[in-house]
Structure 1
Amino acid sequence: MRIGSPREIKNNEFRVGLTPESAHELTVNGHDVVIETGAGVGIGASDEEYRRAGATIAAKAEDIFAECDMIVKVKEPQASERAMLREGQILYTYLHLAPDAEQTADLVKSGVTAIAYETVTGPGGGLPLLKPMSQVAGRMSIQAGATALEKAHGGRGVLLGGVPGVMPGKVAVIGGGVVGFNAAQMAVGLGAQVTILDRNPEVLETVGTHFENRAATRFSNKVNLHDSICEADLVIGAVLIPGAAAPKLVTREMLKDMKPGAVLVDVAIDQGGCFETSYPTTHDDPTFVVDGVVHYCVANMPGAVARTSTYALNNVTLPHALRIAELGWKEAMRRDPHLAAGLNVHAGRVTYAAVAEELGYDLLPLEEALA
């Protein structure tokens, strides 16, 4: 199979779909790999490193989209990239389709077979291709929130860890999954007062046991959520419903009860955000203020630590890429139902139930797509 990885063009996105090591794994298994020139610069990988790995360097993205059977990316294809996709081609990347009607319509129109990292499942019921970026984003959310809390950035002027004689900052983490757990780890490490909210008693038990008296846990109902965000200096939105739009848990009405200069970091923004007032921002202009509350809603947070993120991502995406290249996507999915869960669009139809329901498409059942 001919596999291509173009340079990412989303604002300040420095990751790349394939590392030189991943390119080497594919080429030694008999596949042709094409990398757009400069695609690896953000992770410190030169064109020459890719050549030594056995890859071919393409002068422009158009060559990759025109020549390759499978496109391996990191972020969802932008409008100019979607225009180059074609019927029968495989797109393997993060998609986050439920809150993105325009992208979904373009992928349906193109006839491409689109496999979303974020809906591929694992034997334990988790999302192994999403997990490493959730770990990165969770940890980064505290760094970003701590910076936004500085007075020069519009925040309350609170140091999360405090100093002797001055109380530390208060952090509320909404969601105790991978993002929330990693955010809490960072916040606890800084010495902040941390509260983790979740609706799953087993999750609350797990995080409570791990953090012991270093973090509090609360069941996430409307009263507890309202109380927690009103007490907090920093609120982390770490809610995920696989493949579906995130629920709007914090309404605009609640903002008026929060502390002036408090910070909301919406890690769920890729799925539409879990704060009613959220909209996607970029690393160039990461924050905005609504009713005195600072919002940080960068949709590709891990892109800022591109080398760490790319290698962590490739560790989990490469095995599936190899199987798709070796067996073809249909046979690979017939053998692996976890990979099959990643199929979101095929031949002009939506194949993922949460996306079809959210955006009003007729669902193409997976078994029909694989027939």
Structure 2
Amino acid sequence: MNIGIPKERRPFEYRVGLSPAGVEMLCRAGHSCFVEHGAGLGAGFSDLDYEKAGARTVYLMDEVFGRSDLLVKVQRPIQEELEYLRPDSTIAGYLLLASARQDKIDVLLNKKITSIAFEQIQLADGSLPVLRPFSEVCGLMTGQIAARLLQSNLGGKGILLSGVPGVPPAEVAVIGAGVVGTNSVRSFLGLGAHVTVLDNNIEALQKLYDRFPSVVTMNSTERNIERVCSYADVVIGAVLIPGERSPIVVPRSIVQKMKPRSVIIDVSIDMGGCFETSRPTNHENPTFVEEGVTHYCVPNIPGVIARTATHAYVNAVMPYLEELTTSGIESAITNNNAIAAAVNTHNGEIRHLKRLTGGGGLHGLE
């Protein structure tokens, strides 16, 4: 199979779809890999690194797209890339098509592109093995992001997360006890904050409490969310429904009751956001102030720690890439339920994809 690894073209996206180690595994299995010139530089991989692994370097975007039976990316394609997609080919990556514009979905359908959203690969126990490493990274980064945004010179409340003797630590609320939420808790506890976690899954809260006994756990009713947000210095949104828009769990009315210069970090923004006041930002201008509260709503948080994120991504995705390339796309979809659950478009039809249809806080992404 011909496999293409293009350069990521979205702003502030430094990750790459495959590392040289991943390319080497595929080439040894008899496949041909075409890597676009400079695709790995943001993650610290040179063209020579890929060539030593067995890949061929190509210098034009249309060449890597045109040669590929399977295109492996990180982020979903931009409009220019969609135009170069070869009809009846396959694209795989962290596609997040539930929050994409409809005209992009239409291109995939009209060209009969098979799109495989790695973030939706789901095992029988409900876990998301390929999404997990990025979720871990996002959760772990929330602590360092919040620490900076609380600084006075960045418009924050001038609070040290850990506090000092005689001065209490910051109050942090994490909405969602999944992988992002758990790693966010780990990050904030490591920095010395006082953490409250809210979720509607009591079993998830129990697991979190067993691991971190100092954490306060609460059922995520609207009343509890309002109560916690009223005193929190930092609120983390970590809500996910695979293949669907993240629900709005914090309406504007609750944000209005938060303390001035508090911080919201909406990790769910890549799937539409879970705060009504959220809208997508980027790493150059990551924040805005709404209702007196600083909002951080960057969809590709792991994009700026590209080397760690790429290695973690490739570690998780290689078993599925090997099956897709060895068995063939159709066979892998038919015989592996985990992969089948990740298929968003196939043969001109939509599969396993619930589109954003409106509602408060809806912001379609490019």
* Superposition TM-score, scaled by structure 2 size: 0.95
The separation in 2 between residues aligned to 1:153 and 1:9, in whole angstroms, is: 29
Distance 1:341 1:286 in 2: 32
What is the match of residue 368 of structure 1?
none
Q: Cα deviations across residues 21-70 of structure 1 (Å, max 9, x unaligned)?
A: 00000000000000011111111111011100000001022111111111
Q: CA deviation at 1:110?
A: 2.8
Partner of 2:314: 314
SS at match of 1:354: coil
1:13-162 aligned within 5 A: 13-102=13-102, 103-162=104-163
Conserved 8 A contact 1:16-1:310: yes
State the percentage of identical aligned residues: 43
Aligned partner of 1:238 in structure 2 is 238
Aligned residue number for residue 327 of structure 1? 327
Q: How large is the Cα RMSD of the aligned pairs?
A: 1.2
Q: CA deviation at 1:137?
A: 0.4
1:80 aligned counterpart, secondary structure: helix
Structure 2 distance, partners of 1:270, 1:37, is 28
Gaps of 5+ in 1: 361-371
Q: Distance in 1 between matches of 2:43 and 2:86?
A: 29
Q: Give, in whole Å, the separation in 2 of the partners of 1:40 and 1:226.
A: 44
Structure 1 stretches of 4+ with a deviation exceeding 3 A read none
Verify the 8 A CA contact 1:117 1:130 in the aligned structure 2: yes
CA contact (8 A) 2:88 2:111 kept: no
Write the distance in 1 (CA, Å) between the matches of 2:227 and 2:41: 46
SS at match of 1:125: coil
Q: Give 2:305's aligned amino acid.
A: V
Give the SS at the match of 2:50: helix
DSSP 3-state at the match of 2:148: helix
8 A contact 1:6–1:35 mirrored in 2? yes
Deviation at 1:359, TM superposition (A): 5.0
Structure 2 counterpart of 1:363 = none
- Mind listing any 5+ residue stretches in structure 2 that lack a counterpart? 359-366
Q: Matches of 2:107 and 2:144 in 1, distance apart? A: 35
- Once the two structures are TM-superposed, the CA of residue 258 in structure 1 deviates from its matched residue by 0.4
Q: Specify the alignment match of 1:284 in structure 2.
A: 284
8 Å CA contact 2:250, 2:276 repeated in 1: yes
Aligned to 2:307, the other structure's residue is in SS state: helix
Output one character per residue of 1:310-360: Cα deviation in whole Å (capped at 9) or x when no partner: 0000011111111111111110122211111110111221111534xx459
Query: Residue 168 of structure 2 aligns with which residue?
Result: 167
- Letter in structure 1 aligned against 2:106: A
Q: What aligned pairs does 1:338-353 form with structure 2 within 5 A after superposition?
A: 338-353=338-353
**1:8 corresponding residue in structure 2:** 8
* SS of residue matched to 1:73: strand
Question: Structure 1 359/225 Cα, relative in aligned 2: closer, same or farther at 3 Å?
Answer: closer
- Matched with 2:271 is 271
Measure the CA separation in 1 of the matches of 2:98 and 2:357. Answer: 7
Separation of aligned partners in 1, 2:110 and 2:258 = 44
Aligned to 1:365: none
Determine helix, strand or coil for the equivalent of 1:74.
Answer: strand
User: 1:254 — aligned with what?
Assistant: 254
Q: Indicate if the aligned counterparts of 1:19 and 1:40 stay in contact, CA closer than 8 A.
A: yes
Report SS of the residue matched to 1:285. Answer: coil
1:288-303 alignment to 2 at 5 Å?
288-303=288-303
Q: What displacement does 1:259 show?
A: 0.7
Task: Give me the whole-angstrom Cα distance separating, in 1, the residues matched to 2:105 and 2:319.
Answer: 26
Alignment partners' CA distance in 1, 2:37 and 2:293: 42
Contact 2:246 2:274 in 1 (8 A): yes
- Residue equivalent to 2:362: none
Counterpart AA for 1:109: N
Partners of 1:91 and 1:113 within 8 A in 2? yes
Q: 3-state SS of the aligned residue for 1:156?
A: coil
TM-score, normalising length: structure 1: 0.94
Amino acid at match of 2:84: M
SS in 1 for 2:315: helix
- In structure 2, the residue matched to 1:183 is 184
Distance 1:359 1:101, change over 3 A: farther
Contact 2:172 2:195 in 1 (8 A): yes
